[in-house]
Amino acid sequence: MKKEFVVIGLGRFGGSIVRSLTDQGMEVMAIDQDEDKVNEFSSIASHAVVADSTDESVLKSLGIRNFDHVIVAIGDDIQSSVLTTLMLKEIGVKKITVKAQNDYHEKVLRKIGANQVVHPERDMGRRIAHNIISNNVLDYLELSDEHSIVEIVASERLSGNSLIDLDIRAQFGINIVAIKREKDIIVSPQADEQIRVGDILIVIGADTDINRFEKKVL
């Protein structure tokens, strides 16, 4: 079954979500108050609508409560973001993800029932900073304020060692959940799997433990 999404707010963040979901074959309704933005997405989204998302009667008329997931990607207008989230919750939307401007905004959103809150600018900044600091880090995904998944390129210092030799979980408290090797991916690698130079290790754990691992072995 195709999932059905609504994206409210067609700025850079909301627009990129509409494009990504559409590329993956999902049904997407795109909503904004700006007619020019709506026109821009009329040929991309399944439906593109000019609407005021803070008006409960408008949301009801669009049948938004029947969609699987609503993403509130409103830009700098925190009041509209909060009111829209509140309306969505009141009309019974199952899952609501909201873009937050800051930590205070996030607290309010969580109190009124947002299922997920994202900080795209902050998270992207952390991701870029992390990648700049370490030449071996290819990608970085924040799971929480203290935990992440990181893709690390194996150095010569790791080459030839098996996972049991390195004893990474005991030494650093982190887990290698997969190894990308050229076109293959080894999910849940065995303890005797030997690491090769250039392998991409997909590591999950606390940020402090991942940082210790990077400094010690890379």
pLDDT digit string (tens) for 74-110? 978 999 999 999 999 999 999 999 999 988 999 999 9
pLDDT digit string (tens) for 142-174? 777 788 888 999 988 899 999 999 888 899 999
Structure tokens at 55: 């008006």
Q: Read off the DSSP letter of residue 66.
A: G
pTM higher than 0.75 for the full model? no
pLDDT at 216 over 90: no
> Is the sign of the CA dihedral 9, 13, 19, 24 positive or negative?
negative
Instruction: List the one residue out of 7, 69, 98 whose CA is nearest residue 44.
Output: 7
| Residue owning tokens 């990648």 | 131
Q: Read off the DSSP letter of residue 65.
A: G
Name the residue ranges covered by the structural domains of the chain. 4-118, 123-217
pLDDT at 123 over 90: no
Architecture of the structural domain at 123-217: 2-Layer Sandwich (3.30)
Q: Mean of the pLDDT values across residues 9-13?
A: 92
Superfamily classification of domain 4-118 = NAD(P)-binding Rossmann-like Domain (3.40.50.720)
- pLDDT for the residue numbered 201: 93
- DSSP β-bridge partners for residue 205: 148
